[in-house]
Amino acid sequence: MSKSIAVIGDRFMLPSIFVEKITAACGNGIDIRTLEQPWPDEPMEHGYAGSKLDGLKEFMGDPDEVVSFIGDASLLVTHLAPVSRAMLERLPNLKFIAVSRGGPVNIDMQAASDHKVLVVNTPGRNASAVAEFTIGAILAETRLIRSGHESLRGGEWRGDLYRADRTGRELGEMTIGIVGYGAIGSRVVKLLKAFGCKIIVADPYVQISAQDRNDGVEHVALADLLTRADVVTLHARVTAETTGFIGHDALAAMKKDAFLINTARGPLVDYKALHEALSAGRLAGATLDTFAVEPVPPDWPLLQLRNVTLTPHIAGASVRTVTVAADQAAEEVRRYLAGEPPLNPC
């Protein structure tokens, strides 16, 4: 079997890290060629509002250039490079793709199956980073960190934020609703336990762990969660069912003094409805790390609201995410070359 590996990284998932981890896992003597893409210094093709490549999402790279670089390699390790059906038809030697992310949305999975190309991913590689970021976002909203910062930066000393009728609440007296109980959602639950808050989880496709049940975590319906939670934090995948599912009705069901946190994906939320709710005071505030279109337009209405914290899709960005993903991808390469079954086939 050919051991030619094409590595397409970027300025987050560095090609050099991939090579280092693959060499450590597989030894020397493997032909590895690398290409570095300019993300995140330059935006990727987001794809949720329409894609030029057969519905692929969150990718970067010109198809002709990617095909030319992969060439006769039998293995591809990448973060964001697209692989469409038309591209696979031009890559007859390609038999294995490792995608260093939780969901291989930049790969045409049906086409890969049709061409007998094994695709593996790295689930949970940024679960710790996103979970920690989520806790920070919750605290920034509930303890008025953002409000205090914005007022001081604007030259205003808001002593009124210490008033009993305006000051923040501790997590230990609040109910936190987790929507989605995968690798990230379950880790958020684990971290929240230290604060002593009431934790409720909505996910119709999984059961919560026995440990979480014993610790008092409740598994509830989404409608119940929305009405009870002081903070709603989203950790679901984008599907036909979840696209826009936090819309007018869901927001109307939430408490007037509740907060919404979205570190998952932008299309989960109807941002027009969210803007209306926040502007009208029907919701206390929100932290948004992901958007339906990225980068967001400079005239986007939510940028103008004072009760919203906005970050440029950085919840999953940490040094540890890079090393964990590269380690997982390298182990998959080693297993494939050794004829062993994959750990995380897609």
CA–CA separation, 67 and 91 (whole Å): 7
The CA distance from 323 to 338, in Å, is 22
Cβ partners under 8 Å of residue 56, min gap 6? 45, 47, 82, 84, 105, 106, 107, 108
Q: Which residues contact 185 (CB under 8 A, 6 or more apart)?
A: 178, 179, 201, 203, 235, 236
Return phi, psi of residue 267, to 5°: -65, -10
Assess whether 294 carries a catalytic annotation.
yes
Decide if 313 is catalytic: yes
What helix, strand, coil percent values describe the chain, rounded to 5?
35, 15, 45
Asked whether the beta carbons of 273 and 247 are under 8 A apart, the reply is: yes
Q: Which one from 33, 294, 334, 335 is the annotated catalytic residue?
A: 294
From the list 313, 332, 335, 340, the catalytic residue is: 313
Rounded distance between C-alpha atoms, residue 126 and residue 179, angstroms: 18
From 254, 242, 314, select the one nearest 278 (Cα to Cα): 254
Token pair, residue 251, equals: 């927001």
End-to-end C-alpha distance for the chain, whole angstroms:
22
Question: Residues 265, 282, 320, 335: which is the catalytic one?
Answer: 265
- CA-based torsion, 325, 27, 66, 110: positive or negative: negative
Among all residues, which ones are annotated catalytic?
Answer: 265, 294, 313
